[in-house]
Amino acid sequence: MTGISRRSVARLGLGAGIGVAAASLAACGGQDEDNGSPGSPHQQGAPRVIRLIGDGSTAYTGRQPRQPASPLPLEPGETPPQFVVFSWDGAGELGTGLFPRFLRLARDHGAHMTFFLSGLYLLPEEKKRIYDPPNNPVGASDIGYLTDGHLKTTLTYVRQAWLEGHEIGTHFNGHFCSGPGSVANWTPAQWRSEIEQARAFVKTWRTNTGWHDEPSLPFDYDKELVGGRTPCLLGQANLLPAARELGWRYDASSPGGLQRWPRKRNGIWDLPLQSIPFPGHTFEVLSMDYNMLANQSKNSTRAPSYNYPYWRAQATQSYLAGFERAYQTNRAPLFIGNHFEQWNGGIYMDAAEEALKQIAARKDVRLVSFRQFVDWLDAQDPAILAKLRTLEVGQKPDGGWNEFLRPARHATAQ
C-alpha cells in the first residue's frame, strides 16, 4: 500500500481522524535514534511529518523516538553490557490496566521492551470471517476476540508504546497450540499466510472497525515488523524460511534455550526463552510467567490464595537468579517473557515488576527491546561474538574480560 496525502483524506472519509492523529503525534519528542544531540528537532518537540499509509490505519511519522545511540562494536578487552529483554505475548489491553502499568514502569527505569501484538486484537469479532487460519475453520481462534472498548484501548497503548521507543512485534493471530490445526504442523507457506494476515489486521483496522476518529498508528508496520514469537513456542522450524523471505531479523520462539550468547538459524538471530534457576528445586524453569505458573499451580490460574506470597517471591527470585548467573559470569543476554494476565492474583506481574526494578539498578545493564539487541549484535565483530559463544552457562572468562576479549583473528561467524 502506498501513502496518501491530506488532500485525499476527505475522499476516503478519514477527515476527523487526521486531526486527532496530527495532534497526538505533533508533540511527541524523545531522543532521535541516530543522535541525541541537544539540537535534535525531536528533543525540541517539533511536529513530526505524517504520511498516511493505505487506509490511514498506520502512518509514516519519521524515525522512532527515544531510541539509543547507534551501537558501537566492543573495544578489545571491554566487558560486554548485560542485556535484558522483557517481552509481552499478545499485548492486548483487557481492562486490567497492565499495559499502561508496564509502560509507566519502563519510563521510570529507562527501559525498552518488545510487545508481540496478536493481530486478532485489532480485528473486531463481527469481522472475524476475514481471518482464514491455516488448517482451521474461517474465523476460528483459540484466544478470544477483544470487545470494541478493549480494541480501542489496545490501539491507544500500542500507539503510545511505539512513541515511547518500544518495539511492536507479532504473536501472530489465532494461537493454535493443539490438535491437527496446531501451528506445530504448519508449512512455511501457511506461516507466510498467517504473517501476512497479522500485518493486514494492523494495517487495516480503520477499515475493519469503521472508526475514522481514532488516530493512526504512527509507524509503517511492514518496516516495523522484524520478529515475533510463536504460540506456545511451536513451529519455529517451518516459520524461519517464511520469516527470512520477509526480511525478519530475529525470532524469539525457541523453548528452553541456555543462558549463552545467541547465534543465527537460517540467517535469523535465534533468541530463545531460557532455562533459569528455580528456587527450591533442582530443575530449572523457562523464563516466562506461564511456565512458572505451570510448575507452581499445575496450570491453574486461580489456585488458593494462601500460596501467592511464596509463589510471588519464588518467581521474582527465579528471574533475579537468572540475571545474576549471567551478570556475574558470561554476560549472556537474559530474555523474559510475560502475558498481560492476572493469573493467581497477579503475582507474576508483581514478580516481573520487582525483578525489573532490581535489575535496572545494576551497573552496565541495558534494558532493551529485541530489535535494539539485534542492532547491537549486528554492530559487533563476528570474531568477538564467536568468542563470546564459547562461554558456557555460568562460565567466567579466563583471565577476566580484558584478557578474554583480546582481538580474535581467525574465529568465524555463526
Residue 375 has pLDDT above 60, yes or no: yes
Helical (H) or strand (E) element with 221: helix 221-224
In a domain, 412, yes or no: no
Q: Is the pLDDT of residue 88 over 90?
A: yes
What does the alpha-carbon distance between residue 371 and residue 269 come to, in Å, rounded to a whole number?
A: 10
> In the Cβ-directed half-sphere of 334, how many Cα atoms lie within 13 Å?
31
Percentage of residues in the chain having pLDDT higher than 90: 85
Is the residue at 148 inside a domain? yes
The pLDDT tens digits of the residues spanning 334-354 come to: 999 999 999 999 999 999 999
Instruction: Tell me the percentage of the chain whose pLDDT exceeds 70.
Output: 86
Please give the mean pLDDT across all residues of the chain: 89
Residue 23: inside a domain: no
Q: Which residues contact 183 (CB under 8 A, 6 or more apart)?
A: 172, 176, 177, 191, 194, 230, 231, 232, 234, 235
Mean pLDDT for 116-126 is 98
Give the model confidence (pLDDT) of 132-179 as tens digits: 999 999 999 999 999 999 999 999 999 999 999 999 999 999 999 999
Phi and psi, residue 51, nearest 5°:
-125, 110
CA distances in angstroms from 200 to 94, 154, 179, listed in the order given: 22, 16, 26
Distance from first CA to last CA of the chain, Å, rounded? 36
Q: What is the mean pLDDT of residues 278-294?
A: 97
In a domain? residue 62: no
29 in any annotated domain: no
Give pLDDT, residue 50: 87
pLDDT of residue 338: 97
* CA–CA distance, 347 with 355 (Å, rounded to integer): 12
pLDDT of residue 298 exceeding 80, the answer is yes
In a domain, 342, yes or no: yes
- pLDDT of 49 reads 67
What lies within 8 Å, CB to CB, of 315 at 6+ separation is 289, 292, 296, 347, 348, 351
Q: Which three cell numbers stand for residue 158?
A: 500500542
Asked if residue 60 is part of any domain, the answer here is no
Contact 377, 342 (CB under 8 A): no
24 assigned to some structural domain: no
Q: Is the pLDDT of residue 376 over 70?
A: yes
- 268 neighbors 243 (Cβ within 8 angstroms): yes
Compute the average pLDDT of residues 230-257.
96
pLDDT(78) > 80 = yes
Evaluate if residue 261 carries a pLDDT over 70: yes
Beta strands in 261-339 (DSSP E): 264-265, 268-270, 275-277, 284-286, 334-339
Determine the average pLDDT of the residues in 275-279.
Answer: 98
Distance CA 301, CA 55 (A): 40
- Strongest mean pLDDT among 25-29, 371-375, 405-409: 371-375
> At 92, which CATH number?
3.20.20.370
What does the pLDDT look like over 208-241, one tens digit per residue? 999 999 999 999 999 999 999 999 999 999 999 9
Q: pLDDT class for 408, splitting at 50, 70, 90?
A: low
Alpha helices in 299-398 (DSSP H): 308-327, 343-360, 370-378, 382-388
Domains identified in the chain, total number: 1
- Residue 5 reports pLDDT greater than 50: no
DSSP-assigned letter for residue 306: G
Per-residue pLDDT, 406: 83
Range of the domain at 192: 81-213+221-404
